[in-house]
Structure 1
Amino acid sequence: MSKKEFILDQLEVCRNVESWIQPLSVALENLSLESISWRQNDSTHTIGEIVYHLYFYNERWLRRFKGEIPTEVVESNASTFQEMENLTREDWQELVERLDENLANWQQAIKEVDESKLYEQIPNFPVDAIWWGALSNLCTHNAYHIGQILYIRKAQGSWVSKEE
């Protein structure tokens, strides 16, 4: 399997293909606004905050992959978990659609790129890193947060397993 095929497989599994993990498309099905905003305790994130965080980083890295160097300063990783106060159903659907579109754009960008780019150093990045490694980590990051979303849903009782 080439690095390109590997990254495409990871993106697919994170976005919408069931594998060892549930994809984001399944993890976000049938959520009420209450479930999206539910917080187990003061030190945990809501599903809405996690989805915004995923959108933020996937969008930022896609722009970088396409040659745009991010200019906005990220105060801290914690600041990327945007609170979802007064969230409407339309706001939520728009955020989920933007994240899914971004992940689809990632898949398209990887399909279209020459594999040699995946072995290139990431320009203007503060550490020595090549694209395929960073993208693999981005997918691992997505999978980690998908797991958190499922854990939250199980804790709140909004997850119905297909095996049950």
Structure 2
Amino acid sequence: MLTSVKLVLLDQLAACHNDESWFKSSTKILSDISIDEAAWKAEDNSQSIWEITNHLIFWNEMWLNRFVKDVPFEESDIANIETFDTRQYQDEEHWKASILKLSDGFESWREAITSCEDEKLEKRLPFYFEAPWWGVISNLCIHNAYHIGQIMLLKKQIQTKSKGLSC
């Protein structure tokens, strides 16, 4: 029996969100990170855990909005580097809200895919060389996994630093 594209996408989103499989999920990684840890930046890294989280929120929401509303593709007015910004808020309440917003975004994606018609996933976008929606969503999952790996690496650096060990 062949597995449907929907099931593969749902599995990818679950792995990024809250399913412990090949790598730690965003929910697991972010669950015990303090605001100080979330805002910490390594000397050789230009983004913090919080900035990366905001970046994921931006792109997940932007693509979900296009998918759900079936709007034509247009370039974003926001430069990619701006999607990492956290300067506006630096408190515990906003950090917890960012974690929840990322989690809610994964849930919303899973609901959208579960409830959509298969034809929607096959629809081609005038983006990425006329890629089908399933391909765009799959690449979005890869994008999430990449940045979740960065978050995990930063978390390990923070833990090493707090134990007084050199990285």
Q: Give the TM bin, normalised by the shorter chain.
A: 0.7 to 0.9
Count of residues in correspondence between the two structures: 158
Equivalent residue in structure 2 for 1:27, among 29, 34, 47: 29
State how far apart, in whole Å, the 1-side matches of 2:72 and 2:98 are.
23
Q: Does 1:94 find its partner at 2:105?
A: no
- Provide the aligned C-alpha RMSD in A: 2.1
For 1:67-109, what per-residue CA distance to the aligned partner results, in whole angstroms no more than 9, with x for missing partners?
2457783342212111346511110111111111111010000
Distance 1:63 1:154 in 2: 33
8 Å contact from structure 2 (residues 38, 50) kept in 1 = yes
Structure 1: gaps spanning 5 or more residues? 160-164
**TM-score, structure 1 as length reference:** 0.88
Query: Structure 2: how far apart are the matches of 1:96 and 1:68?
Result: 27
The whole-number CA distance in structure 1 between the counterparts of 2:104 and 2:152 is: 21
Find the partner of 1:132 among 131, 134, 140. 134
* Aligned positions of 1:4-23 closer than 5 A: 4-23=6-25
5 Å-filtered alignment, 1:80-119, equals 80-84=83-87, 86-119=89-122
TM-score (norm 2): 0.86
- Determine the C-alpha separation between the residues in 2 that align with 1:135 and 1:11: 9
Q: 1-side partners of 2:160 and 2:144: how far apart?
A: 21
Q: Is the 8 A contact 1:37 1:84 kept in 2?
A: no
- Counterpart residue type for residue 102 of structure 1: G
Q: Aligned AA for 1:111?
A: T
**Which consecutive residues of structure 2, in runs of 5 or more, have no partner in the other structure?**
162-167
